[in-house]
Amino acid sequence: MNHAIDGAAQAFRQLLEEQLARVAAMNTEKTDFSSKKTVTIGVIDGDGIGPVITAQAARVLEKLLAHEIAGGSVEVRKIRGLTIENRKAQGKAIPSEVLEQIKSCDVLLKGPTETPKGGSLESANVAMRRELDLYANCRPVSVPEKNIDWMFFRENTEGEYVLGSRGVELPGMAVDFKVTTDLGTRRIARAAFDYARNNGKTHVAVVTKANIMKKTDGKFTAIAHEVAADYPEITAEDYYIDIMTANLLDEKLRQQFQVFLLPNLYGDIITDEAAQIQGGVGTAGSANIGDRYAMFEAVHGTAPRLIQQGLGDYANPASILKATALLLRHICRTDAADRLEKALAACPVRVASDGGEATAAEYTDALMALL
């Protein structure tokens, strides 16, 4: 047993060194899209219904940005090879030549990618968040008729995820690690408070389980309040994740929330709950933002059942189109983002997987007529 403990301690030492090196290498220079001369948008198909819905999103982008594409200030580039077949064949979450293409872009629009259960192949999402240092996962949820207008800032590169495939096992016992760093917390907190300030919000809920995860969530909370001190017009209030999941089901109470700031795993869980309140995970868009790169995606998966039934063409592109609007806003194409959001809200056509009859392409034809 001593031998096993020594092995585990050795592994732990290496993890600590790696994590300190990660923090030391954190880049803090931000891409300024308002002045950048050319912006390259990479479109990644993904698996299952991915190619169907991203093709529609690419059509919309090409229409909204037609002038800029013609003038050379925007390029929409197809990125191929992030498929489950290729990833399995190479045994890599993101094959190197695909990662190279990805890194040649500024922002990415990504279809869902398959994550095999078990085995050793890591999720392409998690790998991309790490490789591009996409530390802020921003997920808006809005239900105007219920007075719900929420924005979630989920820390996206640390917490329970960063060493999720690197736990240690001893005979009869398994241990996973959770990592929270000062810099990693400060940057996500700043993103949340900046968003609140720039959007006229007055309340940020800091959601953790700091009564139990004393070191990591304790740090997360403490740093969130340090950052909050720079935003005196905004109230920062602490909540525990368990009661917050209950609060979101309380129709009265939940209306008071505006911006949420959370460590990775709590953010993962609560954003599915919030999306369900909005109408299902298929209705939500998600932005993964770093200082250099950003990636935008639908929250739903690859819908293998739809593909098996031969109904892939009827997949609902609404979620990836919401992500497209988030992308446009991120690169400061505010007018195009507004037009797309308005058209999405007004589009009367429903695809077959959403109770209507249209294909993804027919839905998008109708949407584009409204742009």
Helix boundaries (H) for 199-262: 216-228, 241-247
Helix (H) or strand (E) holding 261: strand 259-262
CB of 310 to ligand IPM, least distance (A): 25
Query: Which CB, 277 or 332, lies closer to ligand IPM?
Result: 277
CB of 123 to ligand IPM, least distance (A): 4
Query: Which CB, 105 or 284, lies closer to Mg ion?
Result: 284
Size of the site for ligand IPM (CB under 6 A): 5
Residue nearest to ligand IPM (CB): 123
Cβ–Cβ < 8 Å for 318, 344: yes
CB of 54 to ligand IPM, least distance (A): 16
Amino acid identity for residue 156 in this structure: N
Q: Which does 185 bind (CB under 5 to 8 A by kind): Mg ion, ligand IPM, none?
A: none
- Residues of this chain, 219-278, that bind ligand IPM according to CB under 6 A: 268
Max CA pair span of the chain:
70
Range in contact with Mg ion (rule: CB under 5 A) among 61-69, 85-93, 267-275, 311-319: 267-275
Size of the site for Mg ion (CB under 5 A): 1
Range in contact with Mg ion (rule: CB under 5 A) among 168-176, 207-215, 263-271, 332-340: 263-271
CB of 160 to Mg ion, least distance (A): 12
Please enumerate in sequence order all residues whose Cβ is within 8 A of that of 178, keeping only pairs 6 or more positions apart, or say none. Answer: 159, 160, 163, 213, 216
CB of 333 to Mg ion, least distance (A): 27
Long-range CB pairs of 180-185 (<8 Å, 24+ gap) are: 180/215, 180/216, 180/217, 180/219, 180/220, 180/263, 181/19, 181/23, 182/219, 182/223, 183/23, 183/26, 184/23, 184/26, 184/135, 184/155, 184/157, 184/158, 185/155, 185/158, 185/219, 185/220, 185/223, 185/224
- Residues of this chain, 102-131, that bind ligand IPM according to CB under 6 A: 115, 123, 125-126
Beta bridge partners of 195: none
CB of 316 to ligand IPM, least distance (A): 18
User: Nearest 10 degrees: CA dihedral of 185, 189, 191, 197?
Assistant: -170
Instruction: Choose which of 268, 273, 313, 354 interacts with Mg ion (CB under 5 A).
Output: 268
Q: List residues near Mg ion by CB under 5 A.
A: 268
Q: List residues near ligand IPM by CB under 6 A.
A: 115, 123, 125-126, 268
